[in-house]
Amino acid sequence: MLPESTQLTDANLLNAIARQDEQALASLYDRYRRILFGLLMRMLRSREEAEDVLQEVFLQVWRQAPDFDPRRGRPFTWLVTLARSRAIDRLRQLGSRQRLASSAIEFAGEGISDAAENTFRAEQRQLVAAALTELSEEQRRTLTLAYFEGLTQAEIAERLRSPLGTVKTRMRSGMIKLRELLSQKMESRAF
């Protein structure tokens, strides 16, 4: 296996996918399948639904790669946004937000150990986990519900039986703090 630095970047892969290069799509899938599938499993709580959505996400990447504009964001951010958006759509189709009402879970402090995970992404996982420990419990809680369960601000307020204004403030202050922490911890390395 080539060292990470000599591999094609995500942007290179998307350019190749835009030119209908199947192997490039397979490479992008191999690179991010586990992190995206982990996210989808956590949101959808069903292997079948999560695999279904993962498939839809990469087919969407195949169709929309020619429209991707690297000036507007990073490929990985785009991928994650696509996956979350699809998963939220699926949750709404399934009407399963209420079904998941009592199933909130906390951020995992540690992921599955996997020797194949490259050092860069392993480091990012550690940094995000460390940053999250510096948020308040309320901030972590609201971000968890929004990010991993796809709940809106009003649904979070209902779930936590908190005023809507309080929920908005906690989420916003949590995101601001998270951005600051990640910026400090990553220094010049961009997320």
Partner 1 sequence: MTHQDYQDMLALHALAALDGSDLRVMEEHLVSCATCREELESWHDTAGALVYAGELVEPSPQVRERILEDIRSAKKISAASSNVVPLKSIPRQAFWVSRYAAIAASLVFVALIVGLVILGEQNRRANRELARLSAQYEQAQRDRERNQKLLEILNSPGARVAELAGTNEAPTAHAVLTYDAKSGQAILMTNGLPPAPAGKAYQLWFIVGNLPMPGRVFAIEPNGTGVSSDQLPVAALKTAGFAITQESAGGATSPTGPILLRGSS
Site for partner 1 in 125-164 (CB under 8 A): 125, 127-129, 132, 143, 146-148, 150-156
Of 2-10, 49-57, 95-103, the segment contacting partner 1 by CB under 8 A is 49-57
Neighbours of 118 (CB within 10 A): 13
Of 3-11, 73-81, 95-103, the segment contacting partner 1 by CB under 8 A is 73-81
The CB-of-54 to partner 1 minimum distance in angstroms stands at: 6
The CB-of-16 to partner 1 minimum distance in angstroms stands at: 13
What 8-state DSSP symbol labels residue 107?
P
Number of residues binding to partner 1, judged by CB under 8 A: 71
The CB-of-175 to partner 1 minimum distance in angstroms stands at: 4
C-alpha–C-alpha distance, residues 62 and 56, integer Å: 10
At residue 125, φ and ψ (nearest 5 deg) are: -60, -40
Tell me the chain's radius of gyration from C-alpha atoms: 18
Residue 13 interacts with partner 1 (CB under 8 A): yes or no:
no
Residue 29 interacts with partner 1 (CB under 8 A): yes or no:
yes
Q: How far are the Cα atoms of 24, 28, 75, 168, 190 from residue 13, in angstroms, in the given order?
A: 5, 7, 9, 37, 19
The CB-of-65 to partner 1 minimum distance in angstroms stands at: 11
C-alpha–C-alpha distance, residues 108 and 113, integer Å: 13
Contacts to partner 1 from residues 50-69, by CB under 8 A: 50-52, 54-56, 58-59, 62-63
The CB-of-39 to partner 1 minimum distance in angstroms stands at: 5
Secondary structure (3-state) at 22 = helix
C-alpha–C-alpha distance, residues 43 and 145, integer Å: 10
C-alpha–C-alpha distance, residues 102 and 111, integer Å: 23
Out of 99, 108, 118, 136, the only residue in the binding site for partner 1 (CB under 8 A) is 108
